[in-house]
Amino acid sequence: MIQTDAAINPGNSGGPLLDSAGRLIGVNTAIISGSGASAGVGFAVPVDLVNRIVPPLIAKGRVPTPGIGILAAPESIAGQLNIAGVIVAEVAAGSPAARAGLEGMDPRAGRLGDVITQVNGKPVGTVHELAQALFELGVGAKARLTVMRDGKSREVTVTIGDIS
């Protein structure tokens, strides 16, 4: 989101957010207001996100959600363990992650799940960074993941699916 001081109220929410040269940089979307009036902090969706979402929404009536079929452990766990990457807590049966051989946590055995550290050579340290990398590649694309398991690094290739 882009923070803005533009007035946002029921009469103009959803309107364009323009820079001083008149270029569209976002779409006004929400406001945090203690009084319920148009006084407060406004937020706009960045135009790059609008440009990615609107075409498939118009063409298909929905926006595909790129994913690989994992449930990530809370980032606080990675932080506590001083792990740089996304800890795989669970892998959905039949998902691209399952077909690639990724493994989730095993609480009974006290074993940590796989840790995704890179997508196509680019480091990912948070779930947001992983999701962004998958979104940029898109549904149907192949992603090369660098994964740590039991202290050893390996690469696996997954085909990104639509998880929506």
Domain shared by 9 and 80, yes or no:
no
> What are the pLDDT tens digits along the chain (164 aa)?
888 776 666 666 678 889 999 999 998 887 777 766 666 688 888 999 889 889 989 999 998 999 999 999 999 999 999 999 999 999 999 999 999 999 999 989 888 989 999 999 999 999 999 999 999 999 999 999 999 998 899 999 999 999 88
Which of 37, 60, 83 is where one domain is finished?
A: 60
Q: What integer pLDDT is reported at residue 13 of this predicted model?
A: 64
Identity of residue 141: A
Q: What integer pLDDT is reported at residue 16 of this predicted model?
A: 87
Q: What is the CATH number of the domain that holds 52?
A: 2.40.10.10
- Give the separation between CA 104 and CA 91, rounded to whole angstroms: 6
Q: What is the CATH number of the domain that holds 148?
A: 2.30.42.10
Angle at 94 between CA 72 and CA 86, to 5 degrees: 15
Token pair listed for 147? 């994964």
pTM: 0.75
Q: What integer pLDDT is reported at residue 15 of this predicted model?
A: 82
Q: Which stretches of the chain are DSSP H helices?
A: 47-60, 75-80, 96-99, 127-137
Q: Residue 79: which domain range? A: 66-162
Closest CA to 65 of 74, 75, 52: 52
Domain shared by 87 and 40, yes or no:
no
Domain shared by 139 and 73, yes or no:
yes
* Residue 139 DSSP code: T
Domain count across the chain: 2
Domain shared by 79 and 146, yes or no:
yes
Domain shared by 81 and 154, yes or no:
yes
Domain shared by 38 and 73, yes or no:
no
- Give the separation between CA 25 and CA 145, rounded to whole angstroms: 33
Which of 60, 78, 93 is where one domain is finished?
A: 60
Domain shared by 82 and 120, yes or no:
yes
